[in-house]
Amino acid sequence: MKKYKKMLVLVALVATSAMFVSTDYNKYFEISKNLEIFANIYKELNTSYVDEIDPAKLMRTGVDAMLKSLDPYTNYISESEIAGFKLQVTGRYGGIGASIRKLKDRDYVVITEPYEGFPAEKAGLQAGDEIISIAGKSAKGKTTKEVSDILKGAPGDEVSITVRRPGTSKDFDVKLKRQEVKIPNVPYSGMLDDGTAYVALTTFTQRAGANVADAIEKLKKDNDVKSIVLDLRGNGGGLLKEAVNLSNVFVDKGEEVVTTRSRNVENDRSFRTLNKPLDLETPVAVLIDGSSASASEIVSGVIQDLDRGVLVGQESFGKGLVQNTRQVGYNSKLKLTTAKYYIPSGRCIQAVNYKDGKTSTIKDSLRTEFKTRNGRSVFDGAGVKPDVEVEIPEMSNVELALMRQNVIFDYATQYKLKNAEIAPASEYTFTDADFKDFEQFVAGRDLDYETSSEKELKQLEEKAKKENYYDAIKTDLEAMKQKIAADKKKDLQKNKATITRLIEREIVQRYYYQKGAVEVGLKGDPYIDAALKVLKDQQRYQSILK
């Protein structure tokens, strides 16, 4: 009987093994079959399609369509796109050192920000300058990417550009020597008051953790730092190792920061802090918003899960996916999602599921509860939720119009031409007299925007016409339109405070670059106000953590 049972077990094992072998064979057969079909279709199109086709473009279309059925973070990076990819990872590239953009209704790409200390700024180029030609070839109609690709190159190589500056009558030529440009990931650090240090981190490129640590150490050396504000707003993430390094600034050596889990268990990894921390005691507030993603969420999640500090702001983006790159030949790469990451409490903060090119969110009722080190409840299936929530009103229609139609940008360009210098960023104020000047500038522009009331009125008018009520309410509709139009003229004054903040940031950036823009933006910032309030009230701070 025992021998019979052993035979049954052996038969079952052989059958199971055969099933797995069969499954693998079927899978690889399907892959081989479909690759052959794809190659045959590609060959027939290339040989017999009625019009001439670009083989590389056709293949790229197929690759992009295939990857689109997965998630938005799995991408093919061609050889021509490698420089842009390296910039995301390292913050470095060879070029003239300026951000450029094709503004609406402009024939030429415009310099929006020369970086301090790099060729464009050294040559006197300013935000608002239009790039008319490069190396003698017209840049009219070219896209931002096309101009950017031409301007980038090996450090030391020269490039000549023709520039048109608003307010001047004659174009001028500038010869620039390309340089390795390194965009700082800590654009500004300073003291918010006598005891509160502030550090802004914009991206998790190389040395992000070390740069934040250096900034804090410098502030501690020169000031009596009693609390720290780390600003991760708008930070879309970057290198996973830098998220670990930055966490290590505030948490002890040997702490598990993040684990990654993939389809293959043997590829799962755990990342722990490796170094002695900089600071385990000073109260910390981390600022996050809906654009704080990936590595930003790891750091803020670690601070929350280990009860090391409080999070202030709005719920983060919710990206709990890990990407790696693979070489796929001819200097091109595939960036693909290989795992999900889990922070110390055990939760994954991925907020969206991707399947067959479709997205779905996780219902609140299906989210799992986890516990922080002190026993506070936190949940998976969404971004990191702040401990102190900050309500931010939506931008008004007039503010959106001023930004989208580049009115504030153009005004700042004109302001810089009229004013050779301004007060330091921390002291600069856009006065009431300045605002009157801005109103006159706006009056000379065709600022066009539609309010919510106007949209609803238009819908009412269309429905009334369909239902034959229009004649009955026509007079009332026209009267309402006129009242709204008259009141719209007061929109600048009604939104003066928030518009002034936008103008101040744009103007200060012209004189003091990114560092100045961050510094002036701290004035009247509701996130900063909320962080200072909780850090100053240590009883509340401790009660949140416990």
Tell me whether residue 252 is one of the annotated catalytic residues.
no
Q: How far apart are CA 515 and CA 188, in angstroms?
A: 5
pLDDT digits (tens, 9 = 90+) for 240-252: 999 999 999 999 9
Whether 8 shows a pLDDT value over 70: the answer reads: no
Q: Which of 71, 129, 305, 491 is catalytic?
A: 305
Q: State the CB neighbour count (10 A cutoff) for residue 189.
A: 21
Domain with CATH 2.30.42.10 in the chain: 92-182
Burial-class residue 427 by CB neighbours within 10 Å (0-12, 13-18, 19+): exposed
Whether 13 shows a pLDDT value over 60: the answer reads: no
pLDDT of residue 361: 86
276 or 471, greater pLDDT? 276
pLDDT digits (tens, 9 = 90+) for 29-65: 888 888 888 888 888 888 888 888 888 888 888 888 8
Question: Is the distance from CB of 205 to CB of 86 less than 8 angstroms?
Answer: no
Whether 90 shows a pLDDT value over 80: the answer reads: no
pLDDT digits (tens, 9 = 90+) for 284-339: 999 999 999 999 999 999 999 999 999 999 999 999 998 888 998 888 899 999 99
CA proximity to 58, closest of 81, 41, 77, 37: 41
Q: How confident is the model at residue 266 (pLDDT cuts 50, 70, 90)?
A: confident
Q: How far apart are CA 503 and CA 493, in angstroms?
A: 14
Highest mean pLDDT among 4-13, 179-188, 303-312, 490-499: 303-312
pLDDT of residue 393: 85
State which amino acid sits at residue 76: Y
Q: How far apart are CA 320 and CA 268, in angstroms?
A: 15
Report the percentage of the chain scoring pLDDT > 90: 63
Q: pTM of the prediction? A: 0.86
Q: Which of 319, 333, 416, 515 is catalytic?
A: 319
Q: How far apart are CA 288 and CA 211, in angstroms?
A: 19
Q: How confident is the model at residue 11 (pLDDT cuts 50, 70, 90)?
A: very low
Whether 6 shows a pLDDT value over 80: the answer reads: no
Question: Is the distance from CB of 546 to CB of 371 less than 8 angstroms?
Answer: no
Average pLDDT, the chain: 90
pLDDT of residue 474: 83
Q: How confident is the model at residue 476 (pLDDT cuts 50, 70, 90)?
A: confident
- Alpha carbon separation from 450 to 253, 405, 454, 481, 499 (Å, rounded): 55, 13, 6, 12, 18
User: What is the dotted CATH code of the domain comprising 188-389?
Assistant: 3.90.226.10
Domain with CATH 3.90.226.10 in the chain: 188-389
Angle at the Cα of 386 from the Cα atoms of 380 and 387, rounded to 5 degrees? 110
231 or 95, greater pLDDT? 231
Q: How far apart are CA 335 and CA 78, in angstroms?
A: 11
User: What is the dotted CATH code of the domain comprising 92-182?
Assistant: 2.30.42.10
Give the CA dihedral 491, 495, 501, 505, nearest 10 degrees: -20
Tell me whether residue 169 is one of the annotated catalytic residues.
no
Question: Is the distance from CB of 245 to CB of 299 less than 8 angstroms?
Answer: no
Whether 219 shows a pLDDT value over 80: the answer reads: yes
Tell me whether residue 319 is one of the annotated catalytic residues.
yes
pLDDT of residue 127: 95
Q: Which of 189, 247, 292, 294 is catalytic?
A: 294
Of the listed ranges 151-160, 494-503, 532-541, the least confidently predicted one is 151-160
CA 457 distance to own-chain centroid = 36
